[in-house]
A = this chain, B = another copy of it.
């Protein structure tokens, strides 16, 4: 029996710093799991990885207004703090940190962390302010908590590469770790946005990972990556996705384009496509 009320719920920078300072006094190491709430098993696997990596785990829950464009789903994004607290308590998280937008961005806030490199392509091309918003809030969370490690899901693979780059570039002194994507029975990557899907859309959604897996298989057999990108795109459209933003085979770290032909170095296949009003992303390692 775990009682959600046993999980400290902190709302201020000062309180999370005080908690972490007390742990540091005792020589304990700290992992941070940044989330936007609406938690599912994928997030909880990040908390478990945090427990394996450090003595203490802080999970932050903050729906960051600065990474949504005006037309995106900031207001509609699912929020259920009590349920999130119960799930985190069960997963033996030590602290749930839920700052308000005013705590995170007080009056006069004027700073933006922005990236070139891995942030300019794919999601960065279709959502131009997105990664600056992500990098800024992650820099702040890392400054507030000062963890030894921070854990991000590979589901948002480009975000993981952007955060790794940013943490290295700003010498934040934290290890950024990626955790494997958790999947439903049909392989659909777990995502808070899956909650938006109707029953029919849910069936279509489950095809994305299968189409990417077929692409990975062909690439591993030496297929030309440009051909596989085109075939996966066609496959997603045929499966019922109404808009395919991209299917891209890229360098696994920089997300730069590859030389033409077969894939000869660590790579990743990444896709984004919409069904109805829901936009889904997924990705897999190549080779």
Contact = CB atoms under 8 A, between A and B. Distances in A.
A17 to B, nearest CB: 7
Interface in A126-150: 135, 139-140, 143-144, 146
Given A17-B173, A112-B115, A143-B171, 10 more contacts: A13-B171, A110-B116, A110-B117, A110-B165, A111-B135, A111-B165, A112-B116, A113-B170, A140-B170, A146-B173
A109 B140 CA distance: 20
A114 interface: yes
A118 interface: yes
A166 interface: yes
A169 interface: yes
Interface in A160-174: 165-166, 169-173
A143 B165 contact: no
A119 interface: yes
Given A13-B171, A140-B171, A143-B173, A113 B110 contact: no
A166 B111 contact: yes
A109 B169 contact: yes
Interface of A: 13, 17, 108-119, 135, 139-140, 143-144, 146, 165-166, 169-173, 254
* Copies in the assembly, this chain: 2
B143 A254 contact: no
A154 to B, nearest CB: 20
A146 B135 CA distance: 20
Contacts of A111: 113-115, 135, 165-166, 169-170
Given A140-B170, A144-B171, A171-B13, A119 B115 contact: no
A246 to B, nearest CB: 20
Contacts of A172: 143
Contact of A112 (B114, B118, B146): B114
Contacts of A118: 110
Best-surrounded residue of A116, A140, A166, A169 (most CB of chain B within 10 A): A169
Contacts of A139: 170
Contacts of A116: 110, 112
Q: Which 8 A-B pairs have the closest CB atoms?
A: A110-B117, A143-B171, A111-B169, A110-B116, A144-B171, A110-B115, A140-B171, A111-B115
